[in-house]
């Protein structure tokens, strides 16, 4: 509340300064008749003084009084006319002044409400870093997190034959705890059942068996399973695993993504932005982290105080080609969706944020047609018609795509 009082007080002070300036300018611009009146009144006094000293006669004095009085009446009439005109002319100035005051006070309040943080005190950088360090020091361990979150388990919905095979795998690994291949299979299948806690325990046992031969990818898989078991929370133990993966391979992309998540959770968006912006330039749309990074990186950049534009990279924003779409049309529904969905998402993201050519819009319409997304294909076709209303060639291409997608009306 104190901030708003100060801010509004400063805005009111600025308005007062502007008002005073306008009023002083009006006072300084008095009409000539005003000064004429002062001169004529002084002349009347001079007549009386001259008469008293005997310089002029009573007859001359009366004549002079009459003449000066006539001039005073004329000047007064002119002054009254000028005042009326000045008052009329000042009304637009006062209206403009009121509008400026309204914009100054109301506009500044609106802008702050949009881009500021009402209700939050200013926190110096040193205090923010200190608070982040405290959050990291007090980070929950993996065991503590898993005790607090509900466990996900889909064994009840699993195919009985598949579940029987997993149980046999569990028994086999229990009898051969040093079987690296068995541990890797167990971690994978426990994860597919939603048993992420058991999965990361199997993956940890695999790393212990491999010892120094464990790769950065092995550590990244372990961290992934731990974070899944914690339902997105990056525990202090998971952070150590992520850093172990990056120590073996600083370019390990999954670990860089999750370390960015961790930094965001401990209120270090600046570190997250550095990790994710570099990662995005090395990623493709079908990477599992790309969609999340694309959706959040602008917000992260804003919190980090960085002006950021999404990179224009063919590897990131490439959409499905016509050949890929033709090939996908011959696939099963599941395989077709798996092949195209990621590429469609990347092309949609670029067209929504940066725009594109009519060929790219046509490709997106066809892609949604192949996927069976008739409503989305129709919506894109309608939007494209407005975007390319003055491009006959582009509309022809788009109309053909809409026809192929079955949404041409």
| CA distance linking residue 322 with residue 309, whole number of Å | 29
Average model confidence (pLDDT) for the chain?
Answer: 77
Calculate the alpha carbon distances from 4 to 8, 115, 119 in Å: 6, 15, 10
pLDDT band at 112 (very low <50, low <70, confident <90, very high): low
**Which of the four pLDDT bands, split at 50, 70 and 90, describes residue 271?**
very high
Nearest CA among 268, 217, 209 for reference residue 241 = 217
- What pLDDT digit, counting tens, does each position of 194-213 carry? 888 999 999 999 999 999 99
Q: What confidence tens digit (pLDDT) does each residue in 117-169 have?
A: 555 555 556 667 777 778 888 899 999 999 988 776 667 777 888 888 889 99
Quick: pLDDT tens for 287-337. Answer: 778 778 887 888 899 888 888 887 655 444 445 555 555 565 565 555 655
Q: So what's the pLDDT on residue 103?
A: 75
| Neighbour tally for 132: CB within 10 Å | 18
Q: Is residue 92 pLDDT above 90, yes or no? A: no
What mean pLDDT is predicted for residues 251-279? 92
pLDDT at 132: 76
Instruction: Please give the pLDDT value at position 116.
Output: 59
CB burial string 319-348: b at 16+ within 10 A, e below? bbeeebbeebeeeeeeebbebbbbbbbbbb
Please state the pTM of the whole predicted model: 0.54
Domains in the chain (CATH in brackets) are 2-115 (no CATH), 131-267 (1.25.40.10), 318-405 (no CATH)
Q: What pLDDT score does 171 carry?
A: 93
Cα–Cα distance between 90 and 64 in angstroms, integer? 38
Contact yes or no for 214/229 (Cβ under 8 A)? no
Q: How far apart are CA 84 and CA 82, in angstroms?
A: 5
């Amino acid at each position: 509340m104190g901030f708003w009082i100060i801010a509004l007080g400063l805005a009111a002070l600025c308005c007062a300064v502007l008002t005073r300036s306008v009023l002083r300018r009006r006072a300084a611009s008095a009409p000539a008749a005003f000064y004429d009146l002062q001169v004529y009144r002084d002349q009347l006094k001079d007549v009386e003084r001259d008469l008293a000293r005997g310089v002029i006669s009573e007859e001359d004095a009366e004549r002079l009084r009459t003449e000066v009085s006539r001039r005073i009446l004329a000047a007064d009439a002119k002054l009254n006319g000028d005042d009326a005109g000045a008052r009329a002319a000042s009304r637009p100035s006062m209206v403009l002044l009121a509008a400026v005051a309204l914009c100054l006070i109301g506009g500044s309040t609106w802008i702050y409400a949009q881009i500021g943080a009402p209700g939050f005190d200013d926190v110096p950088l040193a205090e923010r870093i200190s608070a982040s360090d405290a959050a990291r020091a007090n980070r929950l361990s993996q065991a503590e997190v898993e005790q607090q979150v509900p466990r996900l388990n889909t064994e009840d919905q699993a195919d009985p034959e598949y579940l029987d095979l997993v149980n046999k795998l569990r028994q086999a690994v229990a009898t051969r705890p040093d079987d690296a291949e068995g541990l890797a299979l167990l971690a994978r299948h426990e994860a597919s059942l939603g048993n992420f806690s058991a999965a990361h325990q199997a993956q940890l046992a695999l790393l212990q068996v491999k010892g120094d031969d464990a790769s950065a990818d092995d550590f990244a898989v372990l961290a992934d399973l731990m974070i899944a078991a914690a339902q997105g929370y990056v525990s202090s133990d998971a952070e150590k695993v992520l850093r172990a993966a990056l120590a073996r391979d600083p370019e390990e992309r999954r670990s860089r993504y999750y370390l960015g998540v961790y930094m965001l959770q401990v209120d270090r968006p600046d570190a997250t932005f550095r990790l994710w912006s570099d990662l995005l330039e090395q990623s493709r749309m079908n990477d599992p982290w790309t969609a999340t990074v694309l959706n959040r990186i602008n917000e992260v950049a804003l919190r980090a105080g960085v002006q950021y534009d999404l990179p224009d990279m063919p590897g990131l924003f490439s959409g499905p080609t016509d050949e890929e779409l033709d090939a996908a049309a011959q696939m099963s529904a599941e395989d077709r969706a798996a092949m195209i969905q990621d590429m469609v998402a990347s092309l949609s993201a670029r067209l929504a944020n940066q725009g594109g050519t009519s060929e790219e819009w046509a490709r997106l319409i066809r892609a949604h047609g192949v996927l069976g997304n008739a409503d989305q294909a129709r919506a894109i076709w309608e939007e494209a018609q407005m975007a390319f209303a003055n491009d006959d060639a582009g509309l022809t291409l788009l109309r053909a795509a809409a026809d192929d997608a079955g949404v041409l009306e």
